[in-house]
Amino acid sequence: MAADNTHSAPANPVDIPWDAVLEWGLALASTGLIVSGAIFVLAGALGVLRMPDFFTRMHAAGMTDTLGAEFILLGLMLQAGFSQMTLKLLLVAFFLFLTSPTATHAIANAALKSGLKPQLGPYKAPELSEIEGKTPSEGAH
C-alpha cells in the first residue's frame, strides 16, 4: 500500500514544519520591529543630548519618540497574540500616539511664548577657546 502510494504520487520531498516557520517568522518580524524601534528611540535620546539648540532638540525627541514607541509596541503586540495583553499594548500605543506630539507641541509653545529664540542660519560650532573655562551648562547653549 505504502509502496504503491510512493510510486504513483510522490509524497512531500521535504516535510515543511509549518508551525516552526510561523513561529520563527513572527519572531523575526517582531525582532525587526523592536530593534528598529529601539534604534529610533536611542537616536532620539542622542539628538536630545547633542543638538545645539532647544528647538532642534525638541524635534529630535518628539519625532523619534513617537515612531520608535509605535514600532516597539507593534513588535510586542505580534508576540502577545490575540490576548488581553494586546489590548493593553494597543491602549498604550494609542495614548502615546496622542500625547507625545501634543506634549512636544505644548513645550515648544511654552518656550516660544516665554521668549526663547530659535537659532537661525547655519550652525557654527563654537571654537575650542570659547568652550574652555565655561561650565557645561553655559557651553551647551
Partner 1 sequence: MADEFLLKVYVAAAVLMMVGMALLLVRLIAGPALYDRALAVNSFGTKVVLFLCLFSLMNGRQDGVDIAILYALMNFIATVAILKFFRYRGLTGPMTSLPGSSKFDRLREARRQKEAS
Least Cα distance to 78 among 124, 29, 32, 43 occurs for 29
Draw the binding track, 81-100, toward partner 1 (x: CB under 8 A; -: no contact). Answer: ---xx--xx-xx--xx--xx
Minimum distance, C-beta of residue 16 to partner 1, in the bound complex (Å): 16
- Cβ neighbourhood burial of 95 (10 Å; 0-12, 13-18, 19+): exposed
> Which of residues 98 and 128 has its CB atom nearest to partner 1 in the complex?
98
Tell me the residue type at 78: L
Residue 27 sits in the site that holds partner 1 (CB under 8 A):
yes
Rule CB under 8 A: which of 97-116 touch partner 1? 99-100, 102-104, 106-107, 110-111, 113-114, 116
Residue 29 sits in the site that holds partner 1 (CB under 8 A):
no
Minimum distance, C-beta of residue 96 to partner 1, in the bound complex (Å): 6
Find cell 519572531 and name the residue.
27
Count how many residues are written for the chain.
Answer: 141
